[in-house]
């Protein structure tokens, strides 16, 4: 009798293991059948079970070089560097808040893509430019005038590639007000992304700020396809690689090396929030890394010099 119970127990155990294995395979979240890394060139290799990266462990000399350089400057400078193959990082004033400026266009685009994934928005939806959207500060779309129309896809592209303010405003109204029904002054268009990444936010007033480290989390979520699907993460990073902004961290990196980055500039006269930022992923073969530099300065030329020097220090160290 005991032997019979024992055999039944063993049979039951085997059946349960089989069922658990089957359910796990059925319910395992996949974005595609056997995705190939080459299909998504802007995403992390290790999410495809590949590990072709070089592992660098010692960043002491780089940390010292960056600390010495920033310590010699009068401007407030914040940087965050992360070596993506193993997560080693260097931060200097990386938790200091800076005015986000056009950096906000990246999480806004991410939210638009998420709504597209959810079926609440379509790339070919038509957006009409209103007077309230017109902003000649950055970009050329405003020249088309009130009543002009663009698609959601075009608005995303212009917002990211050219940092077009008018394109951003018309996209922001469609997502934030029309779809998400946000209260006046609140920003549901970015709050979902910030909450997903555990980024503190200030929704009301003119002091929306972000730290170099927190913005790097946004870049990492795209690199590892943590918030969007593989295809949408890769597509957005590809748009960021087409940025018209050639200065900053990109200026010292060889043209053959891809960089997905976003810049932010806010330098209105007599504004205490003046900032010049550039944050991106540098796809150095086998050694990709994130570099985010934020400078509080109304002198764009001087800020650009800081970004160039910092990027040069990092690139020279990692590439060699």
For 51-105, write each residue's pLDDT tens digit.
666 788 789 999 999 999 999 999 999 999 999 999 999 999 999 999 899 999 9
282 touches 259 (CB < 8 A): yes
Give me the helices (H) in 82-187, please: 105-117, 152-161, 165-172
Count other Cβ atoms within 10 Å, centred on residue 134: 17
- Residue 243's CATH number: 3.40.710.10
Same domain, 215 and 297: yes
Does residue 6 or residue 306 have the better pLDDT?
A: 306
pTM: predicted TM-score of the whole model, two decimal places: 0.84
Q: What is the rounded distance in angstroms from the CA atom of residue 158 to the CA atom of residue 149? A: 13
Q: Mean pLDDT for the chain? A: 86
Among the candidates 172, 188, 204, a domain finishes at 204
Q: What is the rounded distance in angstroms from the CA atom of residue 270 to the CA atom of residue 28? A: 54
Closest CA to 227 of 84, 113, 80: 113
Q: How many domains does the chain have?
A: 2
Quote the tokens at residue 263: 């810049």
Among the candidates 204, 219, 247, a domain finishes at 204
**What pLDDT is stored for residue 208 in this prediction?**
81
Range of the domain at 168: 102-204
pLDDT for residue 4 is more than 90: no
For 12-22, write each residue's pLDDT tens digit.
544 443 433 44
For 151-181, write each residue's pLDDT tens digit.
999 999 999 999 999 999 999 999 999 999 9
Same domain, 303 and 224: yes
Same domain, 152 and 132: yes
Same domain, 141 and 68: no
Closest CA to 277 of 250, 309, 304: 304
Query: Is residue 53 one of the residues assigned to a domain?
Result: yes
Closest CA to 110 of 10, 217, 205, 3: 217
For 18-35, write each residue's pLDDT tens digit.
433 443 433 334 454 556
Same domain, 71 and 168: no
Spatial neighbors of 23 by CB under 8 A, at least 6 apart, are none
Same domain, 255 and 319: yes
**What pLDDT is stored for residue 299 in this prediction?**
83
For 251-281, write each residue's pLDDT tens digit.
999 999 999 999 998 876 666 668 899 999 9
Query: Is residue 121 one of the residues assigned to a domain?
Result: yes
Tell me the sheet residues that pair with 290.
82, 281
Q: Look at strands 259-266 and 209-210 and give their pairing.
A: unpaired
CA angle 281, 308, 303 (to 5 degrees): 105
Closest CA to 160 of 113, 216, 124: 113
**C-alpha count within 13 angstroms, C-beta hemisphere, residue 244:** 11
């Amino acid at each position: 009798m005991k032997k019979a119970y024992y055999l039944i127990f063993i049979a039951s155990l085997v059946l349960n293991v089989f069922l658990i294995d089957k359910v796990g395979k059925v319910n395992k979240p996949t974005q595609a059948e056997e995705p190939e890394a080459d299909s998504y060139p802007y995403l992390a290799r290790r999410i495809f079970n590949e590990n072709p990266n070089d592992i660098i462990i010692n960043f002491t000399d780089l940390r010292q070089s960056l600390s010495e350089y920033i310590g010699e400057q009068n401007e407030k400078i914040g940087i965050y560097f992360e070596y993506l193959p193993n997560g080693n990082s260097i931060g200097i004033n990386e938790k200091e808040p800076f005015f986000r400026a056009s950096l906000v266009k990246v999480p806004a685009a991410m939210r638009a893509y998420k709504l597209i994934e959810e079926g609440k928005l379509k790339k070919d939806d038509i957006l009409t430019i209103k007077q309230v959207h017109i902003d000649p500060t950055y970009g050329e779309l405003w020249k088309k005038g009130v009543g002009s129309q663009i698609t959601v896809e075009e608005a995303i592209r212009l917002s990211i590639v050219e940092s077009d303010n008018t394109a951003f405003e018309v996209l922001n109204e469609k997502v934030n007000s029309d779809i998400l029904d946000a209260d006046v002054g609140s920003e549901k268009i970015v709050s979902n992304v910030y909450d997903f990444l555990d980024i503190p936010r200030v929704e009301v007033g003119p002091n929306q700020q972000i730290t170099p480290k927190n913005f790097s989390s946004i870049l990492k979520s795209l690199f590892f396809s943590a918030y969007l699907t593989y295809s949408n993460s890769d597509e957005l990073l590809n748009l960021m690689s087409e940025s018209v902004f050639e200065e900053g961290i990109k200026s010292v990196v060889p043209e053959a090396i891809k960089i997905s980055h976003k810049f932010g500039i806010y330098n209105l006269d007599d504004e205490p929030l003046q900032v010049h930022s550039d944050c991106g992923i540098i796809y150095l073969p086998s050694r990709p890394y994130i570099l985010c530099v934020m400078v509080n300065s109304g002198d764009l030329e001087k800020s650009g010099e800081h970004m160039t020097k910092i990027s040069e220090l990092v690139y020279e160290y990692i590439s060699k």
